[in-house]
Amino acid sequence: MNQLLHGTLVLDFSQFLSGPSCGLRLADMGARVIKVERSGTGDICRQLYVSDTTLEGGESTIFHAVNRNKESYCINLKDENALHKIKKLMAKADVVIHNFRPGVMQKIGLDYPSVFRINPQIIYGEISGYGTEGEWSHLPGQDLLLQAVSGITYNNAEGTQSPVPLGVAVADIMAGTHLAQGILACLLQRLRDNKGAYVQISMLESLLDFQFEVLTRYLNKEDCNQMAGNVSDRLSEARLPDGIYKTADGFIAIANASLASIAQLEGCSSLKQCIDTKDLPRKTGQIKNLLAEAFSAKSTAAWLSILKEAHVCCTNVLNYEELLKSEGYKLLQMEQEVISGGIKVRTTRCPVWVDGQILASAKGAPALGEHNNAIDREFCL
């Protein structure tokens, strides 16, 4: 049995992506995760349709990706009777998760001090956008907005380019991951001291931690200019020729290479004039142009064979269509099929192998309130 958290009950009040991604990982590990959703609409993510795509029955693909392997308990949190049921459920739970703005859980009497009185052993985890105090604390914790504030969009831009956001929900995923780490550490501690704990994460702190290596450089080198690209040590001028290049018929990525080794290659001799000088930073533009010109002259396949011969790490750049067709992808067994409301939904699996096995579960995302009756009966609510 590779279920690491078997027997752990999680009540997840969170919506959208950050908190639910934490719940998803705990579910992957074998915890029983019950989404507590408000009646009527439920998790807002249920209505978040992307790229005009919906599943059979008109449901959001994102919602299904992040809420597989969970149950749904739908309730009106403003109703006294319903609140009483939730408190009874909390008395039995091991973990509570929420990502409401600061103050919301307090208003309904479900903040940590209140829940502690019901269940002192509970591990209570919350995600905010910017922490619980100060001028930003009441603002919505939304991924792009946190990227904007955290400095990440300047550091993701090359040279003096306009800020470039990451096209993936990095703030949500990192905050969810850090919350899971904190919750798990406290669950382990509880096995030894029988005490509950309060775990707090903010998306801003999570994004600062994500940047910690380059941020530490910046903090300790007052004179380094963030915009000039010399702080971000990835693919900055010093790392040339690493990066992605257009070839005659596609794109190629190279890594851990040196300019000198590239200049030795067939068709790259024009680079030789640039590699001897100590004045590399000033020649960056010229080098980039020479590299672009050299790579565009041959096909991706031709370059892969030349570079591999020269022991340069390289690969062709894939889109999803090309990725899914490749042998390597099939070996990873990255996909699984889950059943949601009788419909088969194809999605991805947890990325970690435990005891030589992938963690898969056929349980799909729940319909709103799908498990109300069963949970009422089981917990005598």
Helices (H) and strands (E) in the chain, counts: 17, 13
Which positions from 10 through 29 interact with another protein, judged by CB under 8 A?
A: 17, 25, 29
Based on the shown chain and the rule CB under 8 A, indicate whether residue 173 belongs to the binding site for another protein: yes
Q: Please give the single-letter amino acid code of residue 125.
A: G
Query: Residue 171 has which token pair?
Result: 């703030």
Please return the burial class of 198, using the count of CB atoms within 10 Å of its CB with bins 0-12, 13-18 and 19+. middle
The answer to whether 55 contacts another protein (rule: CB under 8 A) is: yes
Contacting another protein within 297-356 (CB under 8 A): 313-321, 323, 328, 331-332, 334-335, 345-356
User: Between 164 and 301, whose beta carbon lies closer to another protein?
Assistant: 164
CA atoms within 13 A on the CB side of 43: 35
Select from 89, 171, 201, 259 the one that contacts another protein (CB under 8 A): 201
Backbone angles phi, psi at 94, to 5 degrees: -95, -35
Q: Measured from the CB of residue 26, what is the shortest distance to another protein in angstroms?
A: 8
What distance lies between CA 8 and its chain's CA centroid?
A: 23
Q: For another protein, which is the closer residue by CB, 57 or 376?
A: 57
Question: Is residue 58 at the binding interface for another protein, with CB under 8 A as the rule?
Answer: no
Choose one: 69-77, 199-207, 272-280, 281-289; the region binding another protein (CB under 8 A). Answer: 199-207
Q: How far is the CB of 345 from another protein (least distance, A)?
A: 8
Measured from the CB atom, the residue of 109 and 165 that comes closer to another protein is 165
Measuring CA to CA, which residue among 69, 102, 108 is closest to residue 86? 108
Q: Name the 3-class secondary structure at 279.
A: coil
User: From its phi and psi, is residue 297 left (phi > 0), alpha (psi between -120 and 50) or beta?
Assistant: alpha
Per-residue mark of binding to another protein, 210-229 (x: CB under 8 A)? xxxxxxxxxxx-----xx--
Near another protein by CB under 8 A, which window of 32-40, 134-142, 266-274, 372-380? Answer: 134-142
The reply to whether 172 belongs to the active site is yes
- 66 interacts with another protein by CB under 8 A: yes
The window from 83-91, 98-106, 130-138, 279-287 that contacts another protein (CB under 8 A) reads 130-138
Contact (Cβ atoms closer than 8 angstroms) between residue 215 and residue 208: yes
Per-residue contact flags (x/-) with another protein for residues 34 to 53, judged by CB under 8 A: ----------------xxxx
Whether 178 contacts 201, CB under 8 Å: yes
Residue 130 near another protein by CB under 8 A: yes
Dmax over CA atoms of the chain, in Å, equals 80
Q: What is the DSSP letter of 366?
A: P
Give the integer Cα–Cα distance in Å for 6 and 122.
Answer: 17
Binding of another protein at residue 104 (CB under 8 A)?
no
Catalytic entry in 43, 94, 111, 172:
172
Asked if 145 is part of the footprint of another protein (rule: CB under 8 A), the reply reads yes
- Positions in 251-280 near another protein (CB under 8 A): 251, 253-256
Contacts of 7 (CB under 8 A, 6+ apart): none
Task: Find the shortest distance in angstroms from Cβ 311 to another protein.
Answer: 9
Quote the least distance from Cβ 214 to another protein, whole Å.
Answer: 7
Please identify which residue in 38, 109, 182, 363 interacts with another protein, judged by CB under 8 A: 182
* Dihedral (CA of 318, 18, 174, 184) sign: negative
Binding to another protein by residue 62, rule CB under 8 A? yes
Chosen residue from 82, 118, 139, 360 binding another protein by CB under 8 A: 139
* Contact flag: residue 240 with another protein (CB under 8 A): no
Residue 147 amino acid letter: Q
CB of 11 to another protein, least distance (A): 18
- What are 30's two structure tokens? 């074998």
Alpha helices in 159-263, H assignment, sequence order: 170-193, 203-210, 212-219, 259-263
**Cα distance between the two ends of the chain:** 31
Contact by Cβ (8 Å): 299, 307: no
In whole angstroms, how close is the CB of 91 to another protein at the nearest point? Answer: 21
Q: Give the active site residues.
A: 172
